[in-house]
A and B are shown apart, each in its own frame.
Chain A
Amino acid sequence: AQTVTQSQPEMSVQEAETVTLSCTYDTSESDYYLFWYKQPPSRQMILVIRQEAYKQQNATENRFSVNFQKAAKSFSLKISDSQLGDAAMYFCAYRSARAGNNRKLIWGLGTSLAVNP
């Protein structure tokens, strides 16, 4: 069974600085998707960025980028120029790309990010 591990329960960063959130996963599959979701205090889960395992290029979305290391099964999220609005719980998630009925996401426990002014 697949698992997702986020080893940092809490992180903090100064406004305008850069922070990296860690995520590792375990799977025997070769084709899958990885996601970072953000959950602000209002509790609505928002997609931050996604990565297809077959793509070697790291995904980037504005200030958010990932470091995807497939062999190491590592998927870290880098937030550049941190803003106060980035403060939230960040979840790493995995989904199999295998066809069939298994469509659910496997989630990590989350990392709570505080942004200090």
Chain B
Amino acid sequence: DTGVSQNPRHKITKRGQNVTFRCDPISEHNRLYWYRQTLGQGPEFLTYFQNEAQLEKSRLLSDRFSAERPKGSFSTLEIQRTEQGDSAMYLCASSRSLSGANVLTFGAGSRLTVL
């Protein structure tokens, strides 16, 4: 297992288009998180899954954003009708619920540029 994998690493799209990012967590991790990070800022929480259940969703996540984790393994984050303000790095992280400190392992991120 090589860690948390995110694809694509970089996506350039025109405003109004839909984009989808994929995250493959560490195989034995049952928790999966999506964060958004803009330049010069810390990560902002978007949503969290335990297995296939989406347990928390930030108010930052507008109706244009949807995340799924259908089989409790990989997850997708879709952004519909992209806006320039959606340009950011989208980070995925995973963890095991047995760990009290819930240490997150992050992927390298998917950078979105909306023109």
Binding site for B on A (CB under 8 A): 33, 35, 37, 42-47, 50, 52, 91, 93, 95, 97, 101-105, 107-110
Contacts and interface: CB of A to CB of B under 8 A. Distances in A.
Contacts of B55: 101, 103
Interface size class of B (residues with CB under 8 A): 20 to 34
B42 A50 contact: no
B112 to A, nearest CB: 13
Given A43-B89, A43-B109, A101-B56, A33 B43 contact: no
A57 to B, nearest CB: 15
B45 A44 contact: no
A11 to B, nearest CB: 15
A45 B101 contact: no
Contacts of A102: 56
B48 A103 contact: yes
Contact of A52 (B89, B91, B101, B104): B101
B42 A91 contact: yes
A103 B40 CA distance: 24
B59 to A, nearest CB: 12
Interface of B: 31, 33, 40-45, 48, 55-56, 89, 91, 93, 100-109
A38 B95 CA distance: 17
A105 B104 contact: yes
Q: Which of B33, B40, B56, B102: most chain A CB closer than 10 A?
A: B102
Contact of A109 (B31, B41, B45): B41
Q: Which 4 A-B pairs have the closest CB atoms?
A: A107-B42, A45-B106, A104-B45, A44-B108
A42 B108 contact: yes
Nearest to A50: B101
Given A103-B56, A104-B33, A104-B45, A44 B104 contact: no
21 contacts: A33-B100, A33-B102, A35-B103, A43-B109, A44-B106, A44-B108, A45-B91, A45-B104, A45-B106, A47-B104, A50-B101, A52-B100, A91-B42, A95-B101, A95-B102, A101-B55, A103-B48, A103-B102, A105-B104, A110-B40, A110-B41
